[in-house]
Chains A and B, each alone.
Chain A
Amino acid sequence: MEISRVVEKMQPSGIRAFFDLVLGMKEVISLGVGEPDFVTPWQIREEGIYSLEQGFTSYTSNKGLCKLRLGIQRYLKNKYGLQYCSDEEILITVGVSEGLDLVLRAIINPGDKILVPQPSYVSYGPVTELAGGIPVYIDTSRDGFKITPKLLEKHIDKKTKGIILNYPTNPTGVSYRRKELEEINKVLLKHKVLCISDEVYADLTYDFDHTAFPSLPGARKNTVYFNGFSKSYAMTGWRVGFACGPKEIIAAMTKIHQYTIMCVPITSQMAAAEALVSAKKSVEQMKREYNRRREFMVAEFNLLGLKCAKPQGAFYLFPSIKSTGLSSMDFSRKLLEEEKVAVVPGTAFGPSGEGYIRISYASSMDNLREALVRLKRFLEKRK
């Protein structure tokens, strides 16, 4: 059978082989996990169990449970002063991942370009291609891993339809203050470039308040906002995200969603609705814990001589390993083989990640300490 040419072209990269190597090895200390090390807070799990006991095992409306959409509407209003109509402007999706696929398929016509600042989460480019669009990667490594108005102006042309912003950013942990976002927004509005804003790590912002992109002046009508329950509520496996935006875009996305997914599993939706009601304290506790590990790890990495800027959000560090003279992949491979510590090579997130590794501090302090001991030994051997 001939496979679709677009899919055929999407090579499983060398990174995949490295991942398989990690998965096949025993007793690895992993700093390579892109999800919380907490399990979902009990009150949320309990609600999932209860919903099953009560016999909630059916489809929900395509848009998602009314209760959950209302909960999200309230959450966005209280947190950011955003007003979204729960009926026409909010869609519940299978994680942010599905939502991104939907929005790209909903807006892209053949040849449309989507800007993707890099290093970035791995799916943005491939999903754009699958939707028939052309991803235009922007190297941010010389600008502190931040997209700037200047970089934007340089890459926008007549075919530019949108940009996928992600902040706090996976893999760098970088985030933006309101002022910086305002400048970005001005450029996007000027060129009529849609902002596809993946803010799934928003609740894990440490040094300043997170600004939701649609809350910027004039941005609401030009933004599709994405968030989800995976990171802040430690609910990755439940697969619940949501999209908010202008009703004609949400309607188009809902069309695709109804034919491909139908609806998000009801158990997950009910648990997510409960999360919004009763888990605020748990989120705060997890955030406090992450913040301590962040401070600890930044201090330790700089002591090790692996230069590391302090990230403002998520649970990642993106230290430079250039001082070792090794490539990201060689560094990661050798570290795994010699010391059984897993990290993700920066190049997994685009060529601009060369010279860096992604460290996830979503791991217990004991694990982090042990990993640092091994890392130190690894580096000393190379002096």
Chain B
Amino acid sequence: MDEILDILEKDGRATVEDIAKMTHKKPEEVKKAIKKYEKEGAILKYKAVINKDLIKDTESEVRALIEVNIVPQKDLGFEKIAERIYSFPEVTSCYLISGTYDLLVVVEGKNLHTVSNFVAEKLSCLENVRGTATHFLLKKYKEDGVILKHKSEENKRIAISY
């Protein structure tokens, strides 16, 4: 992967100037490359990874992993039905998987009730959905390579050494 992408994937706030210095390139060059990635959709968006457990004033959220069994459609396979599912705003992630189930859908809701309702009233009644199995998440330890612990590995070095 291009160095620029690698840097941005780790730190979305890295500035063009800093990236230019880090990669020994001209700022204009870096700027152009980033624009190109954004245009092509290689870079989709920039966001912060937030540990919501530490945010006191947000409404509590419930997440569930839902395994969905579906009947593929002629000519379209899983694509059309997957689109119908992932377009719901409640769905935060959606993957086609191998094994007993076809889709793995991550759903977020205010509470158990809203998520259950979504599964019962929206997901299960879709044509081509044969069955679902819902797993509520109890605790998040690590997400997308980030360990959700404040200062998980604090620097324990002594401040000066040879």
The interface of chain A, by Cβ under 8 A from chain B, is 19, 22-23, 25, 28, 30, 32-35, 37, 39, 121-123, 170, 288, 292-293, 295-296, 299-300, 342, 344, 348, 365, 369
Contacts and interface: CB of A to CB of B under 8 A. Distances in A.
A293 B160 contact: no
Contacts of A293: 22
A292 B7 contact: yes
Contact of A295 (B11, B23, B158): B23
B159 interface: yes
A30 B162 contact: no
B22 A23 contact: no
Contacts of A296: 18, 21-22
Report the 4 A-B pairs with minimum CB-CB distance, sorted nearest first. A292-B22, A32-B160, A299-B21, A22-B160
Given A293-B22, A296-B18, A300-B21, A342 B159 contact: yes
Contacts of A28: 159
Nearest to A292: B22
B21 A37 contact: no
Interface of B: 3, 6-7, 11, 14, 18, 21-24, 153, 155, 157-162
B23 A292 contact: yes
Given A170-B162, A344-B162, A33 B157 contact: yes
A266 B159 CA distance: 28
Q: Is the interface of B mostly helix, strand, loop or mixed?
A: loop
Given A33-B159, A295-B23, 11 more contacts: A30-B160, A32-B159, A32-B161, A33-B157, A33-B161, A296-B18, A296-B22, A299-B21, A342-B160, A344-B160, A369-B18
Contacts of A32: 159-161
Contacts of B11: 365
Nearest to A23: B159
A33 B160 CA distance: 5
B152 to A, nearest CB: 10
A295 B24 contact: yes
29 contacts: A22-B159, A22-B160, A23-B160, A28-B159, A30-B159, A32-B159, A32-B161, A33-B161, A34-B162, A35-B161, A39-B153, A121-B162, A122-B162, A123-B162, A170-B162, A288-B6, A292-B23, A293-B22, A295-B21, A299-B21, A299-B24, A342-B159, A342-B160, A344-B160, A348-B162, A365-B11, A365-B14, A365-B18, A369-B18
Nearest to B7: A292
Contacts of B18: 296, 365, 369
A23 B158 contact: yes
A122 B162 CA distance: 7
A23 B161 CA distance: 10
Nearest to B20: A299
A342 B159 CA distance: 8
A122 B158 CA distance: 17
Contacts of A39: 153
Contacts of B158: 23, 33
Which has the most chain A C-beta neighbours within 10 Å: B24, B158, B159? B159
A19 B160 contact: yes
Contacts of B7: 292
Contacts of B155: 37
Given A121-B162, A170-B162, A35 B157 contact: yes
A37 B157 CA distance: 8
A344 B160 CA distance: 8
A22 B24 CA distance: 33
Contacts of B3: 292
A160 B14 CA distance: 52
Contacts of A288: 6
Contacts of A34: 161-162
Nearest to A364: B155
Nearest to B24: A295
A377 to B, nearest CB: 19
A295 B162 CA distance: 22
B36 to A, nearest CB: 21
A344 B18 CA distance: 25
Contacts of A122: 162
Which has the most chain B C-beta neighbours within 10 Å: A292, A295, A344, A348? A292
Nearest to A171: B162
A170 B49 CA distance: 37
Nearest to A39: B153
A311 to B, nearest CB: 14
B77 to A, nearest CB: 35
Nearest to B18: A296
Contacts of A292: 3, 7, 22-23
A12 to B, nearest CB: 13
A365 B15 CA distance: 12
Which has the most chain B C-beta neighbours within 10 Å: A25, A28, A288, A299? A299
Contacts of B22: 292-293, 295-296
Which has the most chain A C-beta neighbours within 10 Å: B22, B159, B162? B162
Contacts of A348: 162
A295 B7 CA distance: 13
